[in-house]
Amino acid sequence: MTRVRVYVTLKPSLLDSAGRTVSGALQKLGYSELQQTRIGRLIELELDPYDEARVKEMCDKLLANPVIEDYRVEVVE
């Protein structure tokens, strides 16, 4: 069994309006050093067998939308 993490993030050029709200809340809590907050999504997959190309396919077909998102795959164990 292989555990894989897929990190999906909004493209940097797009406004993350939820992230902006979180930034505002953290700044109100006194964290004035905070410059920006971006919220993404972590998807954990367990696979047996693990095939890198097939995981990439899963990302391209469903897990991420290339119009608005980037993704990165990390094999955990």
Partner 1 sequence: MKVAVLKFPGSNCDQDAYFALRDDLKIGAEYVWHEDTSLAGYDAVFIPGGFSYGDYLRCGAMAARAPIMAEVTRFAKEGRPVIGACNGFQILCEAGLLPGALLLNEGQKFLCKDVYLKAETKRSLWTEGVDHVLRIPIAHGEGRYVVDSDTLARLEDNEQVAFRYVSPDGSRIAEFNANGSADAIAGVLNEKGNVLGLMPHPERATKPQLGYTDGLQILNGLKLVTSNL
Shortest reach from residue 70's CB to partner 1, in Å: 13
Which position among 25, 42, 68, 76 is part of the footprint of partner 1 (CB under 8 A)? 68
Which position among 18, 42, 75, 76 is part of the footprint of partner 1 (CB under 8 A)? 18
- Does residue 55 belong to the site contacting partner 1 (CB under 8 A)? no
- Does residue 36 belong to the site contacting partner 1 (CB under 8 A)? no
* DSSP symbols for 17-62: HHHHHHHHHHHHTT-TT-------EEEEEEESS--HHHHHHHIIII
CA angle (11, 5, 21) in 5-degree steps: 40
